[in-house]
Amino acid sequence: MFQLTSGKTEQTVTAGNSIESIVYSIKNVTKVNVTGLPAGLIGAVNKSNTTFMISGTVADSLKDKEYVYSIEVIGVDSNTTATGKITVKHKPVTTTVSVTSNSTQTVTAGDSIKPIVLRYAYLDSVKVAGVPQGTLALVQDKSAKTLTIAGAVDESLSDKEYTATVTVYGPDNNASATAKITVKHKPVMTVIELVSGSASQTVTAGNAIEPIVYRFENIKKIELSGIPSGLTGTKDDNAKTYTISGMVAGNLTDYVYDYTIAVTGIDNNTSATGKITVKQSSSSVASSSSVESSSSIEPPSSSSEESSSSEEPSSSSVVPSSSSEKSSSSIASSSSEQSSSSEKSSSSEAPSSSSETPSSSSEVVIEESSSSEVPLSSSSSVESSSSALPESSSSVIPSSSSNNMQVVVTGSLEQTVERGAAFETITFSNVQTFERNTWNMWFMEFKRTGDVVTAEGSVHVGYTQDTAVETVTVNGQKFDISFVVVSPASSSSATSSSSEKPKSSSSETPASSSSEASSSSVEPASSSSEVQPESSSSEGPVFVTSRSVSALSMDVAGRTLHVAGAPDMSVEIFDMQGKPVASFGHVSGSVSLDALCQGSYVVRLRSGSLSIIRRVLVK
């Protein structure tokens, strides 16, 4: 016999606790076996062999599980079996995890991190997230109950802060811990190097340069400055190249452009430089020149001139052609004499015993500047009745060779000129190549037509230098043009008067007491320069010159133009051909010149009736 007498065959118990004893009565039983009990429980027959009991305390470490037990009973005459079920619930625990070493660290890309060690309790599973790319891995030591993150970060990583999160999952709760890994990029070298083309080129305005190609590595930003107008820089990120190419603007004059490619890198900055030498095109020179093909010199369009013929019977005023002394007459060549052949020598010659002197001329340049020269008007335009110009009065400087292609210089290379007055025109003939080497006298304008180059203009009233030298190279030969600049005479001495009306066929009385008559250059007659007389009287036109010191001033510092002298001013900027480049209104203090290319410019500063003009160099 085998029969349950007490207890329940199916029970639920928490790990670590005891079950309710399960008791069976037995009779004529020789043996009882039980299997499938959870750890901590046992089944046993009492000493009198009358009962079988299952009892005990379930093991503390057991997890949630159902245990189905089986009892086998061997009797004297027969055998039997019985079953039951014990459901075990785990003992509640708190799962924890924490970092014990290297919770914060910085590592260079490509290097191994310091091992991050964590300690845990009651862990069923674990997950790691947020670690940088590389060979990092998690290792668990169950006996020590530790977790370790170790390995190297990828060398291609850039600067970034990573937060590694370790999450552990336990029987009753989950827990997590974090560690910070700051990755610094692997140092790289930023480079830019020339791979094709020449960094130093010479090109004629209007033509394309040979493309200049640079290769770059590890750059963040690239900037090009100093190139002539018409050229551009193009960046190719795929090929990692930077190319300077294009066609130089056709209106550019002789100038050397030093360009710079500034490169901002990841760990270092670098740069590359080069030079583009622009030569003015012959077509550009011809189209912009006011010099006629006959080599006769026309006065500047901005000048108003008065030419009054006079003859002095003084042989001392004749300068022999072989003399190197300065001449008050500017005669381009024998061709310029022929071009004025319409002037009859008989109409202006004195008696044969007297020498001829070129007619004196006065030239007043009207400019927006601190010096104003105002002509009084007359009722008719004054014709220029020039006397015959003798060959001996021109200062012609031929080269040492009689070759027709050698440079012939007409006009004095050494002059004394008043501020605000026109200087004697200088002409270079037989010109094959011409280059202006300096810009010391920025007011001097060079014009070229064919093989003739003329230098003309007026000394600006604001020019402060007492002496100046301008250097040019003609056909490979250098010429120095030297000026001694003096203060202007008083306004009364600047007045040039003629005692008689100009006559086309009769001798005239020399101009009276004009201090400028003998020093002013003789300019060719020009019908475009008209002076209105004050009245219809017989007197010639009178020029009144007044000069005053302007309160305006300007100065260039870096790429900033600083201006002063008035609260509200206007700034106009021109290139060296006189073309407007930029203008600014209502200026007070300074304006930025960042938009201008490197080179020389003429700046006009105005406020009401005040005005000054200066040449500036933008670097």
Question: In the predicted model, is pLDDT for residue 167 greater than 90?
Answer: yes
**E strand or H helix at 335, and its extent?**
helix 334-339
- Residue 585 confidence (pLDDT): 87
Count of domains in the chain? 5
Instruction: Tell me, yes or no, whether 117 and 247 share the same domain.
Output: no
Instruction: Tell me, yes or no, whether 178 and 312 share the same domain.
Output: no
Question: In the predicted model, is pLDDT for residue 497 greater than 90?
Answer: no
377 belongs to a structural domain: yes
What are the structure tokens assigned to 488, written together?
């202007």
535 belongs to a structural domain: no
Residues whose CB falls within 8 Å of the CB of residue 445, separated by 6 or more in sequence, listed in order: 300, 455, 456, 457
At 93, phi and psi to the nearest 5?
Answer: -135, 165
Question: In the predicted model, is pLDDT for residue 342 greater than 70?
Answer: no
| Tens-digit pLDDT profile for residues 230-244 | 999 999 999 999 999
Instruction: Tell me, yes or no, whether 334 and 437 share the same domain.
Output: yes
Residues whose CB falls within 8 Å of the CB of residue 358, separated by 6 or more in sequence, listed in order: 328, 329, 386, 387, 389, 390, 393, 522
298 belongs to a structural domain: no
| Tens-digit pLDDT profile for residues 117-135 | 999 999 999 999 999 999 9
246 belongs to a structural domain: yes
Question: In the predicted model, is pLDDT for residue 325 greater than 90?
Answer: no
Mean pLDDT of 469-482: 93
Q: How many CB atoms are closer than 10 A to CB 378?
A: 20
272 belongs to a structural domain: yes
| Residue reference for tokens 């304006």 | 591
For residue 20, the enclosing domain spans 2-89
Domain harbouring 39, CATH code: 2.60.40.10
- Residue 13 confidence (pLDDT): 96
CB contact at 8 A, 571 and 401: no
- Residue 334 confidence (pLDDT): 35
| Tens-digit pLDDT profile for residues 527-554 | 333 333 333 333 333 333 334 456 888 9
Mean pLDDT of 403-411: 76
Question: How far apart, in whole angstroms, are the C-alpha atoms of residue 196 and residue 213?
Answer: 5
Amino acid at 295: S
Instruction: Tell me, yes or no, whether 398 and 474 share the same domain.
Output: yes
Instruction: Tell me, yes or no, whether 363 and 231 share the same domain.
Output: no
Residues whose CB falls within 8 Å of the CB of residue 402, separated by 6 or more in sequence, listed in order: none
481, β-bridge pairs:
470
| b (16+ CB within 10 A) / e for 533-547 | beeeeeebbbbebeb
- Residue 284 confidence (pLDDT): 54
At residue 338, the 3 state secondary structure works out as: helix
Q: What is the mean pLDDT of the chain?
A: 76
524 belongs to a structural domain: no
| Tens-digit pLDDT profile for residues 174-228 | 999 999 999 999 998 999 999 999 999 999 999 999 999 999 999 999 999 999 9
CB contact at 8 A, 131 and 107: no
21 belongs to a structural domain: yes
CB contact at 8 A, 545 and 488: yes
Question: In the predicted model, is pLDDT for residue 460 greater than 60?
Answer: yes
Q: Give the residue among 355, 358, 351, 342 at the shortest CA–CA distance from 309.
A: 358
Q: Give the residue among 303, 313, 615, 304 at the shortest CA–CA distance from 441.
A: 615
- More confidently predicted of 519 and 4: 4
Question: How far apart, in whole angstroms, are the C-alpha atoms of residue 213 and residue 306?
Answer: 57
- pLDDT band of residue 492 (cuts 50, 70, 90) is very low
Q: Give the residue among 559, 555, 570 at the shortest CA–CA distance from 597.
A: 559
Question: How far apart, in whole angstroms, are the C-alpha atoms of residue 180 and residue 243?
Answer: 44
Instruction: Tell me, yes or no, whether 59 and 17 share the same domain.
Output: yes
| Tens-digit pLDDT profile for residues 241-270 | 999 999 999 999 999 999 999 999 988 999
How many residues make up the chain in this entry? 619
Which DSSP category does 90 fall into? P
Instruction: Tell me, yes or no, whether 29 and 128 share the same domain.
Output: no
Q: Which of 64, 89, 114 is the last residue of a domain?
A: 89
- Residue 542 confidence (pLDDT): 35
DSSP 430-498: S-S-EEE---SSTT-EEEEETTEEEEE-B--TT---SEEEEEEEETTEEEEEEEEEEPPPPTTTT--B-
Question: How far apart, in whole angstroms, are the C-alpha atoms of residue 483 and residue 473?
Answer: 18
CA atoms within 13 A on the CB side of 385: 23
Instruction: Tell me, yes or no, whether 61 and 105 share the same domain.
Output: no
CB contact at 8 A, 100 and 118: yes
Instruction: Tell me, yes or no, whether 170 and 249 share the same domain.
Output: no
Q: Give the residue among 190, 218, 183 at the shortest CA–CA distance from 109.
A: 183
SS (H, E, C) 292-326: CCCCCCCCCCCEEEEECCCCCCCHHHCCCCCCCCC
Share of the chain above pLDDT 70, in %: 70
Question: How far apart, in whole angstroms, are the C-alpha atoms of residue 204 and residue 250?
Answer: 8
- Residue 361 confidence (pLDDT): 34
Domain harbouring 588, CATH code: 2.60.40.3080
Instruction: Tell me, yes or no, whether 430 and 316 share the same domain.
Output: yes
Question: In the predicted model, is pLDDT for residue 515 greater than 60?
Answer: no
536 belongs to a structural domain: no
Question: How far apart, in whole angstroms, are the C-alpha atoms of residue 244 and residue 201?
Answer: 12
Identify the weakest region by mean pLDDT among 9-23, 106-120, 380-394: 380-394
Q: Which of 24, 58, 89 is the last residue of a domain?
A: 89
Q: Give the residue among 53, 56, 35 at the shortest CA–CA distance from 44.
A: 53
Question: How far apart, in whole angstroms, are the C-alpha atoms of residue 6 and residue 58?
Answer: 19
Mean pLDDT of 35-46: 94
At residue 261, the 3 state secondary structure works out as: strand
Share of the chain above pLDDT 90, in %: 51
Question: In the predicted model, is pLDDT for residue 66 greater than 50?
Answer: yes
- Residue 462 confidence (pLDDT): 76
Question: In the predicted model, is pLDDT for residue 439 greater than 90?
Answer: no
Instruction: Tell me, yes or no, whether 76 and 101 share the same domain.
Output: no
| Tens-digit pLDDT profile for residues 594-604 | 889 888 899 99
Question: In the predicted model, is pLDDT for residue 388 greater than 60?
Answer: no
| Tens-digit pLDDT profile for residues 274-295 | 999 999 987 655 544 443 333 3
Question: In the predicted model, is pLDDT for residue 473 greater than 60?
Answer: yes
Domain harbouring 140, CATH code: 2.60.40.4140
| b (16+ CB within 10 A) / e for 592-607 | ebeebbbbebbbbbbb
Instruction: Tell me, yes or no, whether 104 and 67 share the same domain.
Output: no
